[in-house]
Amino acid sequence: MIVKQYDTVLLKDGRGASIVEAFDGKVFIADVGSSPKDWETIDITIDDIERVIENG
């Protein structure tokens, strides 16, 4: 699976996330939440991602 900056992904825990930064295609910084009011920025790895929902 190829995940790039600005992609929208589904995490294995069921949350959707927007990729903010991608490092070596294996480590990412992502925003999770439904709107800017409840966004949380988290660190994830490729193992946390179920699939890419939308290419950015």
Q: Position 20: which residue type?
A: V
Q: Is residue 2 part of a domain?
A: no
Q: Is residue 38 part of a domain?
A: yes
Q: Is residue 20 part of a domain?
A: yes
CB 53 within 8 A of CB 16: yes
pLDDT of residue 37: 86
Q: Position 23: which residue type?
A: F
Q: Is residue 42 part of a domain?
A: yes
User: How many structural domains comprise the chain?
Assistant: 1
pLDDT in tens, 7-47: 999 999 999 999 999 999 999 999 998 877 888 999 999 99
DSSP helix/strand/coil, 36: coil
Q: Say which residue the tokens 């939440």 belong to.
A: 33
pTM here is 0.89
Q: Is residue 13 part of a domain?
A: yes
pLDDT of residue 56: 84
Q: Where are the alpha helices (DSSP H) in 1-55?
A: none
Domain with 29, as residue range(s), is: 8-54
pLDDT of residue 38: 87
d(CA 25, CA 42): 16
